[in-house]
Amino acid sequence: MSKTFFITGGAGFIGSAVIRELIHNTDNHVVNVDKLTYAGNLESLVSVADSERYTFVQADICDAPAMQQVFEQHQPDVVMHLAAESHVDRSIDGPAEFIQTNVVGTAVLLEAARAYWKKLQQQDADKAEAFRFHHISTDEVYGDLEGTDDLFTETTPYAPSSPYSASKASSDHLVRAWQRTYGLPTLVTNCSNNYGPYHFPEKLIPLMILNALAGKPLPVYGDGQQIRDWLYVEDHARALIKVATEGDVGETYNIGGHNEQTNLHVVETICEILDELVPYKVKGNSHHLPLTTHDSHKQLITFVTDRPGHDVRYAIDASKIERELGWKPEETFETGLRKTVEWYLANETWWKRVQDGSYQGQRLGSI
């Protein structure tokens, strides 16, 4: 039976992947609610924009009347809350916006959902029983891992390191409190680092791809030995939909890609793929070094001062979601990264419009 999904932050990287998956591969309806900050890009949703099962509403999750109106007008069966400020460096430079969006915005959304759900209990008991509020979070709430074999599990204590991860940890606690105090049927997922098509170019993998294509330096923090578990965004989208529709109320599910890599290895692998697909030729020779006709993009790698409080290692134990819901990633790090590089090579118009800011000209359906 078709459901209506209310997705916050659906014009963002992960949200747009979820929406494309829902519209392309299910018969469900989607209401995309996005404020359209710098990270929201409607051009990531061109392939679904004309679907009769897709609706876009420009609104801020901190706007309580707007959230109430969305619930009343669209009567969702599932809320998938992805809207968030998510860039660590930006959170260090300006934490207030992260607290406003990630903490206050989540509280506003929870209250709107609770009021809607209470009304459903009086008017449509079956719909109320099936209603779900799925909060999408990050593995960064756990801090970092000291050992080389330890993994984050769903019961790992929270120890956030940055203003971003602290704001997400706060929102996770709010969601669980609303479930325990009010009975709101919530689920929480914590994911590892996502990558893939339509990723905003300030993030590590797209930044390195685009800098390399432009012959610019590839800045790597510290010694580049920070370890992350990389999850292909389309694998993540499938996992999120499975949790939202099949997960148990009150449960937390960690979603990881089983792909631990150092940041330096990620950058070097991108360079190797680009060396194959777009051979690098140095223009000029300021250092008077002997050059071959085919040099490696690796020579663009530049080590820069590490950022404050930089976590050393993240790694997800995703055995629970595989065991209980039957999900596991389809992409390996190698296949996913190659698909990502190839996508950026084939979609120059999309990322150039992000780089020059022209993508921000689209504004539709405001309330």
pLDDT at site 275: 95
Q: Which residues of 267-303 are buried (b: 16+ CB within 10 A; e: fewer)?
A: bbbbbebbbeeeebebeeeeeeeeeeeeebbbebbee
Provide the whole-model pTM: 0.92
The ranges assigned to domains in the chain are: 4-199+232-261+313-332
DSSP code of residue 200: -
For residue 276, what pLDDT band results from cuts at 50, 70 and 90? very high
User: Model confidence over 45-82: pLDDT tens digits?
Assistant: 999 999 999 999 999 999 999 999 999 999 999 999 99
Which residues does the annotation mark as catalytic?
Answer: 139-140, 164
Q: Is the pLDDT confidence value at 218 over 80?
A: yes
Q: Is the pLDDT confidence value at 287 over 50?
A: no
Q: Is the pLDDT confidence value at 91 over 90?
A: no
Query: Taking residues 9-32, what's their average pLDDT?
Result: 98
Percent of the chain with pLDDT over 70: 93
pLDDT at site 293: 46
pLDDT at site 284: 47
User: Model confidence over 327-356: pLDDT tens digits?
Assistant: 999 999 999 999 999 999 999 999 999 999
Among 54, 70, 184, residue whose Cα is nearest residue 132: 184
Q: Is the pLDDT confidence value at 122 over 60?
A: yes
Which class is 4-199+232-261+313-332 in CATH? alpha beta
pLDDT at site 281: 65
pLDDT at site 282: 59
pLDDT at site 57: 98
**CA 6 vs CA 61, 211, 230, 335: distances in Å:** 12, 36, 27, 31
| Side-chain-facing half-sphere of 153: CA atoms under 13 Å | 6
| Cα dihedral sign, 107-111-112-117 | positive
- Quote the mean pLDDT of the chain: 92
The DSSP-derived string for 18-33 is HHHHHHHHSS-EEEEE
Query: Taking residues 156-177, what's their average pLDDT?
Result: 95
Least confident of 141-155, 218-232, 249-263, 326-340: 141-155
User: Model confidence over 146-157: pLDDT tens digits?
Assistant: 766 789 999 999
Query: Taking residues 168-189, what's their average pLDDT?
Result: 98
User: Model confidence over 307-330: pLDDT tens digits?
Assistant: 776 777 888 999 999 999 999 999
| 118's tokens | 């209470």
Percent of the chain with pLDDT over 90: 79
| Bridge partners of residue 29, in order along the sequence | 4
